[in-house]
Structure 1
Amino acid sequence: MARKLVKKRGKKVGAAPGTLVHVGDKTDTVAQIRVVDYDQEHLRDQRLKDPNACRAFKSGPRVAWINVEGVHEVHTVEALGQGLGLHPLVMEDILNTDQRPKVESYDDYLYIVIKMLQYDPLQHEIRPEQVSLILARHYVLSCQERAGNVFDGVRERLRTGRRIRFLGTDYLAYALLDAIVDNYFALLEQLGERIEALEEELITRPTPATLAQIHHFKREMLLLRKAVWPLREALAKLTRDETSLIAAETRIYLRDVYDHCVHVLDTLETLRDLLAGMLDLYLSSISNRMNEIMKVLTIMATIFIPLTFIAGVYGMNFEHMPELAWPWAYPAVLLLMLGVAAGLLVFFRLRKWI
C-alpha cells in the first residue's frame, strides 16, 4: 500500500489558532528530555523528567542545548513552551509534524523547522521526521519526533571541547542544521545505489515488479523534494536577514550549509530525471518485447499460410485429381511444402527481417 504524502489533521481542522493538538504518527514511547549545558571549561549532560526544570536554562550563565525526543506528549511541549516563554503558535507548530521547512523571527528567539530524513534499507523508503529548533540567546531547543543518532556527532564535539564550546548558541544551531543536511548526502547515496541497481534490472529483464519499484521511488523523490526545496529558502533567510541572535562569523558557516542544500537539490533533480527516463525506458522495453513477439508470430503465420493452401488443395475430395494417383505424389507435396518454407526463410533473411 502506498504511503500517504499528506498527514491527517483529525481534530486540528477547525480548531482555534494556538490549539495544542499533536498531528503525526502515534507512539506509546515516553518523551525524553536531555539537556547539555556548557562553557569553555565545563560541560554537564543530564536527563530531566520534569519539563518545568528547563526554566532555569532560559537565561543561565552557560549555553544550554535542550533536546526533546518525542513531541507526541502535548503536556510536555506545553510545559516547555510556557517555561521558555514560547508563543502558542510556535508550540502549535512543534506539535504539528506536517510543517514545511521555514524560519520565523520572534522578539527574543528564532523558530526553525527542518526535516530529518533517514533511509530504511528493508522497506526501501524514506522515513521523514520533523525537527523544530528554537534559537535563543542562552539556549537552543530541539524537538524531535523520535530518538535518533544524527546528533551524536554534535554531542561528541561538545564532549571533546572543540571549537563549538567556545562559541554561542548560534553556532550550536548551525551544527545541528549541518548534521541534518549532511545526513541528506548519505540518504541520496543509498537511494542512488538502489536506483542504479533498478536501472540495470530494467535493461536486462524488466517485469511488472520493476514498474512498481519505479513508481515507488518516484513517490520517495516527491517526499524528498518536499523536504529539501523549501529548506533552501529557509537557509537563505538565515544568512540574509539581520538579527542579533546570529553573529557575522556564524553566517559564513550557514552559507556553507546553504551550498550543501543546493548540492542536495541538484542531486535530487538528477535522480528524478533518471527515474523519469527509466519509466520511458520501461514502456519502450515492453513495447519492443511485444513487437518481437508479434514479429515471430507473423513470420510463423506467413510461412504456414502457403503450406496451409497446398494442404487444403490436396485435401479436397475431387474424383479427377491426377496427382492423387501418382506413386510419388505424397513425398512430392511434402518436398514442395519444405521448399516453399525454406524459400520464405531465405527471403526473410535476405530482407533482414529475421
Structure 2
Amino acid sequence: MLDPTHNDDCDLDGPLLFGRVLDGRGGAREIGWEEARTWRPSAAGEMLWLHMCRTVPGVREWLIDRLAIPEPTAELLTSDATRPRAFREGQALVATLRGINFNPGAEPEDMVSMQVWSDGLRLITLRRVPLQTPRDTRHELDQGDGPRDAGALITSLTEHLIDRMSHVILDLDDAIDKLEEEEVDCADKAMLAEISRIRRECLALKRYMSPQHEALENIARDAPDWFEDHDRREIAESIDRLRRYVEDLDISKESALVLQDDVRARLLERNARTQSQLAIVATVFLPLNFIAGLLGMNVAGIPDAKDPYAFWEVLTICATIAAAQMLLFRRLKWF
C-alpha cells in the first residue's frame, strides 16, 4: 500500500520512487525496481542510487536480505526515529538527515527526515513524506552535471538540504525586521502572538539543526575510505554554513525575545497610562459625586431647596473644586 502523502514526480515502482545508475562522469541513466534488485556494475565508475519510500511493506526485509544490512541498522533506516545522526558501519555510511518541509499545509519547522545508507557502490535514500532535495540532485544528474560517485552524491544531497534552510532563516529575519519597524502604538496582543510564533519556529528548527551539525561532523571525521578528501572538504563547507545558520537562529531567537520584552513593556506602559487617566477622572468626580449625592437626598431640611439660584451656586462650587483638583494634579505631575 502506498504512502498516502506520496506526490513525487515519478510513479511508485514497488518501494522505488526513482533510481539512477551514475556513470562516473556527472550523468546517469534511469533504472526500474526489477533491474535495481539485481543490479551489478557493468562499467568502471558506475554506482547505483535508489530513492525509496520507507513505509512500503517489505523495504526493511529487502535491505536485510539483498544488501546484507544488519537488522538494527535496517530498523533504523525504516523507522520513525528521525533525530539526525551519522555513523560508520564497516565500509558503509549510515545517516539520518532532516530537511525543511515545504509540502502543502506543513510548517517549515516540521522538518522531513531522510535516511541514507551507502557502501560506496550503492547509495540508498529513504523517506516517508515528499522531500525536494533528492529531486534537485536527480535533476542535476539528468542534465549531465551531477555528482560522479557516492561521496559526491552525499555531499550534493547535504548541500541542497542546507540551501533550503537558508530561505526559511531569511524569512524569519525579515519577519523580525518588519515587526521592529512597527510603530509603538501598533504594539498589541497580535504582535505578541506573531513574535511567539517566530520564537517557537526558531526553537523547533534548532532542535534538529544542531544535531544535524554533529551528524555532518561525524561524516567528515569518520567516513569510510571511499569518501574522498574533496568530499570531506565539501562536507566541511556544509558544516560551516550550517553552523552559521544555527548562529543566525540564535540571533533571531534573541532578537525576538528582546522585541517581545519591548512590546510587553509598551503594552504595560499603555495600560498603566490608561489606568492612571481613569484614576484621575475618578478622583476628580469623587467629591463632586459626594456633593451631588448629599444634596440629592430626599429628606427635609436641604439648604436652599426652594432657591431658584441654588442649582447654579452648586454648579459653580463643583466647577471650582474640579479646577482646584486639576491644578493640584498638574503640580503633582500626575498628568
TM-score for both structures, normalised by structure 1? 0.79
Q: Kindly indicate whether the alpha-carbon contact (under 8 Å) linking 2:23 and 2:47 is maintained by their aligned counterparts in 1.
A: no
Structure 1 residue aligned with 2:118? 135
Aligned pair in 2 of structure 1 residues 131, 82: CA closer, same or farther (>3 Å)? same
Would you say how many aligned residue pairs link Structure 1 and Structure 2?
A: 326
1:228 to partner: Cα distance: 0.6
Structure 1 residue aligned with 2:21? 37
Task: Tell me the distance in 2 between the aligned counterparts of 1:228 and 1:320.
Answer: 81
For structure 2, the 5+ residue unaligned runs are 7-11
Task: Tell me the distance in 2 between the aligned counterparts of 1:62 and 1:54.
Answer: 19
Structure 1 residue aligned with 2:4? 27
Structure 2 residue aligned with 1:334? 315
- After superposition, residues 114-263 of structure 1 pair within 5 angstroms as 114-119=97-102, 125-162=108-145, 164-165=147-148, 168-197=149-178, 203-241=184-222, 243-263=224-244
Deviations 1:313-352 (A, max 9, x none): 433545373x446543221221221222233234334444
Q: Kindly indicate whether the alpha-carbon contact (under 8 Å) linking 1:37 and 1:64 is maintained by their aligned counterparts in 2.
A: yes
Structure 2 residue aligned with 1:91? 74
2:127 alignment partner AA: Q
Structure 1 residue aligned with 2:334? 353
For structure 1, the 5+ residue unaligned runs are 1-25
Deviations 1:281-319 (A, max 9, x none): 444344333312211210111110121233234335453
Q: Kindly indicate whether the alpha-carbon contact (under 8 Å) linking 1:119 and 1:126 is maintained by their aligned counterparts in 2.
A: no
TM-score for both structures, normalised by structure 2? 0.83
Task: Tell me the distance in 2 between the aligned counterparts of 1:137 and 1:124.
Answer: 35
Aligned residues: CA RMSD:
3.1
2:206 alignment partner AA: R
- After superposition, residues 252-291 of structure 1 pair within 5 angstroms as 252-291=233-272
Aligned pair in 2 of structure 1 residues 97, 327: CA closer, same or farther (>3 Å)? same
1:92 to partner: Cα distance: 0.7
Task: Tell me the distance in 1 between the aligned counterparts of 2:48 and 2:36.
Answer: 13
Aligned pair in 2 of structure 1 residues 59, 73: CA closer, same or farther (>3 Å)? farther
Task: Tell me the distance in 1 between the aligned counterparts of 2:285 and 2:165.
Answer: 61
Task: Tell me the distance in 2 between the aligned counterparts of 1:158 and 1:121.
Answer: 26
Aligned pair in 2 of structure 1 residues 186, 134: CA closer, same or farther (>3 Å)? same
Tell me, yes or no, if structure 1 residue 46 matches structure 2 residue 30: yes
2:109 alignment partner AA: I
Aligned pair in 2 of structure 1 residues 163, 313: CA closer, same or farther (>3 Å)? closer
Secondary structure at the residue paired with 2:118?
Answer: strand
Structure 2 residue aligned with 1:72? 55
1:142 to partner: Cα distance: 1.4
Secondary structure at the residue paired with 2:117?
Answer: strand
Q: Kindly indicate whether the alpha-carbon contact (under 8 Å) linking 1:232 and 1:262 is maintained by their aligned counterparts in 2.
A: yes
1:212 to partner: Cα distance: 4.2
Q: Kindly indicate whether the alpha-carbon contact (under 8 Å) linking 1:74 and 1:95 is maintained by their aligned counterparts in 2.
A: no
Aligned pair in 2 of structure 1 residues 45, 269: CA closer, same or farther (>3 Å)? same
Q: Kindly indicate whether the alpha-carbon contact (under 8 Å) linking 2:92 and 2:118 is maintained by their aligned counterparts in 1.
A: yes
Task: Tell me the distance in 2 between the aligned counterparts of 1:111 and 1:220.
Answer: 28
Q: Kindly indicate whether the alpha-carbon contact (under 8 Å) linking 1:59 and 1:138 is maintained by their aligned counterparts in 2.
A: no
Deviations 1:123-179 (A, max 9, x none): 6552311111123221222112233332343234323434733xx311111111111
1:41 to partner: Cα distance: 5.2
Task: Tell me the distance in 1 between the aligned counterparts of 2:196 and 2:233.
Answer: 40
Aligned pair in 2 of structure 1 residues 203, 154: CA closer, same or farther (>3 Å)? farther
Task: Tell me the distance in 2 between the aligned counterparts of 1:326 and 1:283.
Answer: 56
The counterpart of 1:304, out of the listed 272, 281, 285, is 285
Structure 2 residue aligned with 1:7? none
2:85 alignment partner AA: K
Q: Kindly indicate whether the alpha-carbon contact (under 8 Å) linking 2:84 and 2:97 is maintained by their aligned counterparts in 1.
A: yes
Identical aligned residues as a percent: 20
Aligned pair in 2 of structure 1 residues 277, 202: CA closer, same or farther (>3 Å)? farther
Structure 2 residue aligned with 1:14? none
Aligned pair in 2 of structure 1 residues 303, 241: CA closer, same or farther (>3 Å)? same
Secondary structure at the residue paired with 2:111?
Answer: strand
Q: Kindly indicate whether the alpha-carbon contact (under 8 Å) linking 2:101 and 2:131 is maintained by their aligned counterparts in 1.
A: no
Q: Kindly indicate whether the alpha-carbon contact (under 8 Å) linking 1:206 and 1:282 is maintained by their aligned counterparts in 2.
A: yes
Higher relative contact order (CA 8 A, sep 6+): 2
